[in-house]
Each structure stands twice: as structure tokens, then as C-alpha cells.
Amino acid sequence: MPLYGKDNCTFPFTNLYQAIRHNHGHSYTALNDTNGVCNSSNDSSDLERRYEAPVVTQKELRGWYGYGFACEPFSVSALGVFIPIILESLAAEAGYELDDYNTPCDTSVARYSCVIKVGDIYVGTSSFSLYVRAISVAFQALVFIGCGAIADHGRWRKTFLLLFALMGSISGLLFPVAYKPSLWWLAATLSIITCVCFGASFVFYTSYIPTLTRYHPDVLEVYSQGDEEEVSRVTEKVANSISGKGMAWGYFAGVIVLVISAIIVYVLGQTNYSMQIACAFTCLWWLIFTYAPYKWLKSRPGPPLPEGESYLLYSWKKVFNTISHISQLTQTFRFLFAWFFISDAISTTTSISILFCKTVLGMGHAELLIAGIIVPLAAGTGNFMWLHIQSRYKLSTKSMISMLVSMYAVLPLYGLLGFILPFGIRYRAEAWGICIYIGLLLGAIQSFCRVMYSELLPPGKESEFFSLYQITDKGSAWIGPLICGAVADITQDLRYAFWPIVLMLLIPAMVIRSVDVSEGKLQARRYQMKN
């Protein structure tokens, strides 16, 4: 099985492996295909000036894991716990009673129902944070489209990763500035900016997975043997290992941050402002540990931007060009369709669960923080557990995703049982078991999904296609919150929001089963050669 280079140039695995060894750990793609035979050159310095691809080292992997260690606590702590609580609390303290728009909201009541006036309309305080999340998603899609394809050229991938990490963490550090209820709008604005920057940095972080896999020593070793099945098996194993370990280290960091945050909240008093301080600490952690990728992660530059192309318009053109070629990448886009709903359902379930525990079960800040600690701790453990299960029973990545998504659908179904049975998220005691259940599945689903996607994308277009992945991820994240927020406003019962989540999980689980990974890989190679 050959490896395709630029201009449709191919060369056998053995030659690639020998070239890597010969050129001091660097692999270069030969140019100028003549009658199907690649021209070779003994001038390694000339090749080095063109397409440089260093073999992955443990230090570089530590740099990549380091960014997960830096940013994942923001997702786990800020997005999953602090921001929904902060926005809901500020809105409630600045809001009015549902049945009397002139009476200030009484937040001392366990199950209060209040609204906040946004412009000329009144929005339920429980759904306010969901609407803010939906707005941030819309802005994320614009940023992802505008930057994604550019990062496949020059050294922009690492630059964009660090730039958005810097802007996002600094914006999050400003949360304590919104110290009173009347500044709910400022908290919402900071939330949008921080979430957009986090999502953008994550595009370029995850786009490293195919490259780190492709040039991993274990993968290069089997390339030299020329056994296609063995290459596929080892590549999938390495990709799952890299992704799973990155996710696990991120969730374990999230546990550390949540424990420290819980101490901050306890020492400062269980107030909304102490939650804002804790949220700012999460962003400080993000800022400090971004030093790891800055120091150790290689830029891995791509070719320069095509002559005559504009940085302002290039990425937009590439993304829309890719979308116009859906017929050439049917398996890739079939997966994206499924991921569109899976990611939305997962993120919405997390937000709904936090709000449900706070407003329906009446759990306090301390209890919510404990729940927040349990979820990432279980998620980090779950990553290793499911990797072991996959290896033990020799299950494909696709099979793991189908199984885990189906298991995740049990959660909203259990919540719906609360309508007719004396259990079904009706008591606080149930919340702890649910936290463990969510955690064991959450990280593993995300890790396996991004690995399966990395198998289906064209080589050399990682950032462009992972921007589509993040657009699909974050671009769908407004649907669930919007629907669930509307359902909660209409019914005044957050439990009804579990209905749409069930559908958003079961339907894509069936779609995933229909994806042909082998065909998807061939389609990706053909697309890469033509474009």
C-alpha cells in the first residue's frame, strides 16, 4: 500500500521509513510525479526547505497533553459548572417573579420561578444561560470557518492555538468584574468571548491528532512492513491512545481545579461572587499551563498559502468548497451528521443536569461542586477503562461509539421515568450515581469520536476539517439549549427537556453504525490527491 504525497506522488512504506531514518528523523514528500514515479533527491536540505515532518517525540506528546491539562478544566469547571450557575444566579437576582413582573425574584425559595428582562422580552432565569450558550455557538461557527483552513498553511496552527488560548483565558479572568446582579449582561458577554476563544483553540489542538498519529514511531515502524491491515490496526490503536490519554489528563486536571475551586468557594462563602472567583481561577490555570504547548509542541508547518489568496477569504472559500464536494466524502459527512446531534445532546445534557440539580432538586453550591468533581474524575477513569475494554475484546472505534452513545441515552430516559415513578432524578441521592454514570461515558465518547473522525479526513487538511468538526460540535450546540430552553419556558418544568435529548442520541447512534470507515479512508485519500 503506497503513501500519497503532494501532486499525487506515491512511494512505498519501506522507502518512507528508510527516508525518515536517513534524514535524521525527518520525513519528506518528494515532488514532481513523472509517469507515476516520484523523482528523488539526495539533497536533503532542499527537501527540508519544502515539507518537513519530524518524528513525534515524547516531549512533543507531553506538550500536546499539556494543553489538554491546561484547557480541559475550563470545559469541565467553567462551562460545565460555574458559568451556567453564575449566569442563572445573576439573572435571578436581577429578575422578577414569574407571576408578577414587578416583584423582585425571591431566590431564597427552593424552587423559585423567575424571569429576567432582556431588551423588550422576558426570559426564564433557568433558560437564560442556555440562550447565552446558543449565542456563543453562533459566533464560534464564524471564527472556525474564518481560521480553520488557514492553519493548514505555514505555522498558523500553533500560533492560532496559543493566540486564542491567551485571549480566552484573559477574558475569563475578568468574571469577578461582574460583581453585582445588574452586571448580568457583562457576565454574559465575557462568557460568550471566553467560550468562542476556547472552542477556537480546541480546533487547532484536536487537529494535531492525525499528524501526531501519522508520524508516531509505532506507526512509522509498521509502515516499513507494508502490511495494510497491520498499519490500520496500529494507527487506530495509537490514535485512540493519544486522544484518550489527552482527554484523561484533561479531566484529571479538571478534578484538581474543581477541588481547589471548592476550597475557594468554601473559604469565601458559598455566594455567587465566590463562584466567579473560582471561575477566574480556572482561567488562570488555563493561562499558566498553556506554557507546555508553547514550549514543547512543534509548529509542524504546512505549505505556504497559495499565491494570490487572501488570508481574509481563503478559509471561507476552502470550507465552502469542501462542503460542495460532499459527494466525494460521503462517509466523512455521514459521521459529521451523527456527531452534530451527539455532541449537542451531550453538552445539553450536562447543562440541563446542572440546572436541574440546582432548580428542581434544590442542591446548593457546595453540592454542585462535589458533583462537578465526581464527573471529570469518573471521565478520566472511564477513558482508560473503555480503552482497556476495546483492547480486551478487540472492538472497533465505531463499535465503541455506538455502544457508548446508546448507553448515554439511558440517562434522559431515566429522567423521564420521574413523571410516572417514585424515582427518576427525583431525589438528591440519585444525582450522585448519575454523575458517575455521565462521567464514565462522557470523556470516552468524545475521545473515540474525534479518533474516528481523524481516520476519515484527508491528510494535510487537518485544521480545515477539524474546524468543520468543531462547527458541527459547537454549531449544533445552540439547537439543544434553544429547544430545551423553549420547552422549559412553555411547560415551566425542566424535566420535559429530556424528551428531545433522547431523540438526539438514539438517531445518530444508528447513523454511526452505517458509516463505512474503510471506504471513508479511500475517499479521503482520493480527495486529498484531487485537491
pLDDT at 356: 81
β-pair partners for 53: 27
Of 215, 217, 203, 212, the residue nearest 240 (C-alpha): 212
Dihedral sign for Cα 455, 458, 463, 465, please: negative
pLDDT at 5: 37
CA distance 513 to 289: 38
Mean predicted confidence (pLDDT) in 331-353: 86
Does domain 54-324 fall under CATH 1.20.1250.20? My reply is yes
Mean pLDDT value across the chain: 81
Buried b (16+ CB within 10 A) or exposed e, 31-43: beeeeeebeeeee
CA distance 438 to 354: 12
Of 369, 340, 395, 362, the residue nearest 508 (C-alpha): 340
Helix, strand, coil % in the chain, rounded to nearest 5: 75, 5, 20
For residue 413, give the 3-state DSSP assignment: helix
Higher pLDDT, 38 or 129: 129
Top-tier CATH class for 326-530 = mainly alpha
Q: Are 268 and 274 within 8 A, CB to CB?
A: yes
Contacts of 232 (CB under 8 A, 6+ apart): none
pLDDT at 34: 34
Contacts of 47 (CB under 8 A, 6+ apart): 23, 28, 30, 41
Amino acid (1-letter code) at residue 431 = A
pLDDT at 478: 63
pLDDT at 13: 38
Please write down the HEC assignment for all residues of 192-253.
HHHHHHHHHHHHHHHCHHHHHHHCCHHHHHHHCCCCHHHHHHHHHHHHHHHHHHHHHHHHHH
Statement: residue 25 has pLDDT above 80: no
Mean predicted confidence (pLDDT) in 328-336: 93
Of 77, 133, 72, 145, the residue nearest 472 (C-alpha): 145
Amino acid (1-letter code) at residue 313 = L
Q: Which stretches does DSSP call E strand in 391-478?
A: none
* Percent of the chain at pLDDT exceeding 70: 88
pLDDT at 7: 36
β-pair partners for 38: 33
- In angstroms, the Cα distances linking 482 to 18, 128, 262, 488, 504 are 55, 10, 30, 10, 14
pLDDT confidence tier of residue 407, bands split at 50, 70 and 90: very high
pLDDT in tens, 67-118: 999 999 998 888 877 888 889 888 888 888 887 788 888 777 767 778 888 8
Q: Are 393 and 455 within 8 A, CB to CB?
A: no
pLDDT confidence tier of residue 4, bands split at 50, 70 and 90: very low
CA distance 158 to 298: 8
pLDDT confidence tier of residue 12, bands split at 50, 70 and 90: very low
Higher pLDDT, 226 or 392: 392
Dihedral sign for Cα 335, 341, 344, 348, please: negative
Q: Are 68 and 252 within 8 A, CB to CB?
A: no
In terms of Cβ atoms closer than 10 Å to its own Cβ (0-12, 13-18, 19+), residue 148 is buried
- In angstroms, the Cα distances linking 9 to 30, 35, 322 are 7, 10, 22
pLDDT in tens, 195-241: 999 988 988 898 898 889 988 998 888 877 767 778 888 888 899 99
Statement: residue 267 has pLDDT above 80: yes
pLDDT in tens, 155-188: 888 999 999 999 999 999 999 999 888 898 999 9
Of 193, 147, 152, 201, the residue nearest 171 (C-alpha): 193
Amino acid (1-letter code) at residue 505 = L
State the residue for C-alpha cell 478544566: 73
- Stretch(es) of the chain classified as CATH 1.20.1250.20: 54-324, 326-530
pLDDT at 45: 35
Mean predicted confidence (pLDDT) in 318-345: 87
pLDDT at 353: 78
pLDDT at 497: 84
